[in-house]
Structure 1
């Protein structure tokens, strides 16, 4: 498509150098093909600069062709500054200038692409040039619209006010000039008074909403095709003048940032367009008249975060509460409430605080649980820590009633919400000086509440089991992080997940799930170990839960390292909670399919369904290293899977000389090198033999030949 544009633009450029009578063929069909292609696919930045230059520089093209090109200048990305300067430079009177009609089209185009300019400050720097062209009546309406968009407080000067007033009187109160004066009045209401601004004025609406809609489609399609999309992040250091576009309906529209009663020596947010000027004037800013604009204006959000104001925060809360009361009384519909929450989402994400929970209490009575779901859940994830029973009764339970539809998908949505809520609560507690606040117990209650939800999901997500398991582990990774902070949680009751859940994740067919589970348990062990050492006397309930946790450690080590899967003979071992008759049936089945491999060894590092590929890769690498060191003196490779007996037989036949313990340690290190750190981490904090091997790795010590003992938590 780029080649096609290149060819068409080149053909038009060549034809434009000759008068129509000297051309070998008509240019109209080429212009039509070019404009059709621009409408369908838009113009890349380099092509856009060429096309703007084609229109703004002297050419032998008729006015209809030039106008058609301008009407179809759809940029696929940001509009380059060169194109903006070309447009500004072609304005005015002169033989080498485009016609005033084409100049009007170009100014109208600037208005329509203003939100995607690469350098909006380029227009601001040309303010004086644009302002001095206001006496040109043919382009005055479009020019006033451009000036209204780029006007900031620094541009409003007494001589410009006088010039516009004089020109307005000469033209009989031109609506475009009156509209521009009203923009000026927003900055200096005490200077611009009288009847001048009370007449009919231009509304400065978007010239062509359908054109804007097509532009959005082209840019969205271009971003989806691009390898690295330019999503055009919003400038967080400029007032969001298009704020009202984010809301639907008059009842819920938010005002933009306007400082009505600013003084001559004050500084307003409307003047700021970069981070440096914002920082320099942080203590001088005059607060805008409509503080509720903070809900969606990034610059005002930064000001209220860095310079807190209790009165301003109260005004925002009152506005949000008023919206909720309107819906509750029937004066507004549920769609208004959702529009407010869509915008409120930006404010909550920036400030990490929820202005009013009342808004959501009303929402739950009219919400279908689907519309604007992401915005609602994201905003609610910043609920402040409070008494859990009260919070659940008033907020969380109504939310669950709206979200849950009896499917595993809605359960996952709710679990992801609780994960975000717990993460935000933990950040709040970690960042406070008093970590032992009474609200910490609410975190424990929340974790306890989610235990059952996680267990239910693990047993009822057949369509995408691995994704469900990973979502569960997201929650428990946050829980483990909290548990590892001994100054926050002194109780063990909330730290122990349900045993059935742990064993379901243990026997997951995904290596990622099993590895992350081991990492979570290792984190638990570290945190719980610290808590146990600091607690003089544990309650009977805590001792019982600690015994269950020790069972997790023993059972996983029995499966992976000690070749004793489903054993319950060791202290703390729970046999993975598999009943004895079931174990007997599995043993009989194992003998039937492979008499040489007992059931207890089918889940070790060599035979485990999730580890066998990694262990085989490890043995192959060790054999390759041996071959490289001995110049090919390796008579036989291991066929796999590796056992203690097979290693001895291989060694006698001239194969790799490797002890069983050394092999298993090599597999653990191999997993760690490949990024599967959870399994090695759990083994190193629970197996004495591995702890000693790590401590003595530089001393060349020989590993024990025993299976090693498991380090469990003492109580």
Structure 2
């Protein structure tokens, strides 16, 4: 009660006084200071907002004081419907000055998401169109009408008025923004070209005001739900109890920025011509009346879309409608909402502890949507490009990296500047765990390019054919295969740096080999006309003390060998010229890797092979000749535990000898490794050592050799 009395007295002071002295008025300063502090800390109640709106909108205390009072109209929960009516009444009647009118419109834009009933704003919104020629009010009127416009609001005389105004004052972003909505509904009425970037339409100077309103809402919600673990738990409980029905929209917004599905409630309030009725469809089906997909597919063209297309992130049925029809009106409206919301959540506000669960939930739903439609969203890429430049690598890391994996295909220069370089800067200064996440992200991005983006690009270009895509984004022709090749080269160099920085860490080595495994099958699995071999860092895995390393290296080389053979058989691939790729050099590098593995694991000539191009090329005398054996299959530090286990199983306890004795029964030892789920080595030897492949006996012969070895005394 003690906190409510000062703000009540302050509001009564402004309401009661007919004329307030400005200069040297201590009571005015104290009342205004109290009002500002309370509104910024916990917001104002609905009754207080209504009382102050009447005072401020009338302008009876002067423009400067009225604008300060309007800035204090921060709702604690919802912005009352009656205050909205007052704002429209005072603005359209031109009772207040133009400066106060502009502040009132800015207020409606700032609290738009927290208005108690949007239907009132939709019914009264186009009363503002009579003021469209006021140069000061036009940007705010266009912004507000941009949010409120429905299909039946698009009238030919309004389009003509905007085009006439644009001809007189020149092309303005706010006029283009409102015309873009008109063009979405009726392309035949607006023939001019409209820029597609939402940020160009309505640049705002009230970001601090928006942030204050959002912080007040979040603090109040946190206080209301302090008995719960997070606002997400509240969302789930309310959803289970009835889908958040009956909860004020402002509280829903604080819990989750994604709107709920409801029809646009577009009941016609004016008499229309028969022609316009036919254009608008006389009996649309509100989307809220669509219970399932079967009902949707019966009359998809008659479905009345919800007033907020952002509800698609929450409604599976609406997602099916978007992917089924690929209607540009739906996708553009969704893109406008998504870019605005995503920018506000990630870029235009400071993240508080209370906001993290809400933003994470929003990003998770966005990721689920992109997985459903199996493609990236262009506006998400644009926001990510900006966010990665200022990202600290900690906030929402899992969600951000998953969104990066669905990034669209761009020229490599665009990809390098906006995604790869920010990730590289993060990569070199973070822990090995985050390095692994980044490598996995880039591996998934490469898979997305190979499996989804390259086929979509090839369908569209060079003939500019319509492509099966929910979100179309024409970025022009470029060498798509070169982008993929350069991306592989970039990641290949990046993992080399990472392995050097972290001393060949086993976890990072695992993700490096995962990347190489994916690259090795790009021709056979995805049909790309090239095979790119990794740099020398792959040989590092051969020197680890973990059997996973050399075994997976053998598997990777096996996969590369199969792909190169398939590529050689494919006559079409030889006709494709890809910059930064040399087929002969690839085959030569593969042969070097195969020979090095054979000399190391099988022939026991790791350092005495006599080849200049080997990865193990050392000057004579630097290594003892006995070092050749240390990397052989049965003496390798990674396979020694298996060698000892093999000896224990095949030799009596008193006759267990040195692992060198396994040299005589290497084929049996490889079967033992296969039993231990290390089958890549045997497959590699069978596919590369011709003499071994031709001389390998039957299972019965192998058993006889094993029996003789069991009966031997060892070495």
Q: What is the correspondence of 1:611-690 to structure 2 with a 5 Å cutoff? A: 611-622=639-650, 637-643=655-661, 660=664, 663-690=665-692
Aligned residue in 2 for 1:497: 534
- What residue is the counterpart of 1:354 in the other structure? 377
Quote the Cα distance in structure 2 between the aligned partners of 1:243 and 1:433: 45
Shift of 1:472: 0.8
Q: Which of 417, 435, 438 in structure 2 is aligned with 1:393?
A: 417
Indicate the SS of the match to 2:659.
Answer: coil
Which has the larger helix fraction?
Answer: 2
SS at match of 1:562: coil
Cα shift at 1:687: 1.4
Report the CA distance shift for 1:409/1:389 in structure 2 as closer, same or farther (over 3 A). same
Number of the residue aligned with 2:313? 295
Q: In 2, are the aligned partners of 1:269 and 1:285 still within 8 Å (CA)?
A: yes
The Cα offsets for residues 235-264 of structure 1, whole Å up to 9 and x where unpaired, read as 9xx9897998999759x9332111133899
Deviation at 1:403, TM superposition (A): 6.0
Give the conservation status (yes or no) of the 8 Å contact 2:668–2:702. Answer: no
Q: Find out whether 1:447 has 2:488 as its counterpart.
A: yes
With structure 2 as the length reference, what TM-score do the two structures score? 0.52
Look up the match of 1:514.
550
1:259 maps to 2:263? yes
1:690 is displaced (CA, Å) by 4.1
**1:690–1:485: structure 2 CA closer, same or farther, 3 Å change rule?**
farther
1:274–1:614 distance in 2 versus 1, CA, 3 Å: farther
Cα 1:268–1:560 shift into 2, 3 Å: farther
User: Cα distance 1:670–1:689, how it changes in 2: closer, same or farther (>3 A)?
Assistant: farther
CA displacement, residues 193-217 of structure 1 (integer Å, 9 cap, x when unaligned)? xxxxxxxxxxxx9996344439988
Once the two structures are superposed, residues 534-571 of structure 1 have per-residue CA deviations (whole angstroms, 9 ceiling, x without a partner) of 4669999543443222111111111111122223326x
Structure 1 pair 436–318 and aligned structure 2 pair: CA distance change class (3 A): closer
* Residues 360-371 of structure 1 mapped to structure 2, 5 A cutoff: 360-371=384-395
Contact 2:293 2:317 in 1 (8 A): no
Report the equivalent of 1:477: 517
Aligned length: 447
Residues 686 and 262 of structure 1, relative CA distance in 2, 3 Å threshold: farther
**Structure 1 pair 397/466, CA: closer, same or farther in 2 (3 Å)?**
same
Tell me the equivalent position of 1:310: 328
Q: Matches of 1:244 and 1:693 in 2, distance apart?
A: 77
Match of 1:105 in 2: none
TM-score (norm 1): 0.52
Cα distance in 1 for residues equivalent to 2:305 and 2:568? 53
Distance 1:244 1:637 in 2: 80
Pairwise mapping of residues 278-293 of structure 1 onto structure 2 (< 5 A)? 285-293=303-311
Return the offset for 1:504: 1.0
1:450-509 CA distance string (max 9 Å, x none): 1110111111114x811110111121111112144584123x5xx12111x122111111
Question: 2-side partners of 1:680 and 1:435: how far apart?
Answer: 41
Q: Which residue of structure 2 aligns with residue 606 of structure 1?
A: 634
SS of structure 2 residue aligned to 1:384: coil
**Equivalent position SS for 2:631:** coil
Q: CA deviation at 1:404?
A: 4.9
Partner of 1:121: none
**Contact 1:560 1:604 survives alignment (8 Å):** yes
Instruction: Supply the distance in 2 between the matched residues of 1:420 and 1:580 (Cα, whole angstroms).
Output: 41
Partner residue in 2 for 1:528: 564
Task: Tell me if structure 2 keeps the 8 A contact 1:364–1:402.
Answer: no
Q: Which has the higher contact order (CA 8 A, sep 6+)?
A: 2
Unaligned runs of 5+ in 1: 1-178, 183-204, 220-230, 589-597, 624-633, 648-659, 705-715
Q: Map of 1:162-173 to 2, 5 A cutoff?
A: none
SS of equivalent to 1:580: coil
Relative to structure 1, the CA distance from residue 528 to residue 640 in structure 2 (aligned partners, 3 Å threshold; closer, same or farther) is same
**Deviation string, structure 1 residues 606-631 (Cα, Å, up to 9, x no partner):** 211111222343344455xxxxxxxx
Structure 1 CA distance for aligned equivalents of residues 645 and 251 of structure 2: 55
- Cα distance in 1 for partners of 2:244, 2:376 equals 21
Please report how far the alpha carbon of residue 334 of structure 1 lies from its aligned counterpart in structure 2 after TM superposition.
Answer: 6.9
- 8 Å CA contact 1:484–1:524 kept in 2: the answer is no
CA distance in 1, matches of 2:653, 2:551: 35
Distance (Å, rounded) in 2 between the aligned partners of 1:504 and 1:300: 50
Deviations 1:4-60 (A, max 9, x none): xxxxxxxxxxxxxxxxxxxxxxxxxxxxxxxxxxxxxxxxxxxxxxxxxxxxxxxxx
Distance 1:512 1:245, change over 3 A: farther
Q: Aligned equivalents of 2:555 and 2:447: distance in 1?
A: 18
Give the Cα–Cα distance (whole angstroms) in 2 for the partners of residues 214 and 321 of structure 1.
26
Structure 2 unpaired stretches of 5+: 1-115, 120-220, 268-281, 462-478, 706-715
Q: Secondary structure at the match of 1:488?
A: coil
After superposition, where does 1:59-208 map in structure 2 within 5 Å?
Answer: none
- Change over 3 Å in CA distance of 1:429–1:562 after alignment to 2: farther
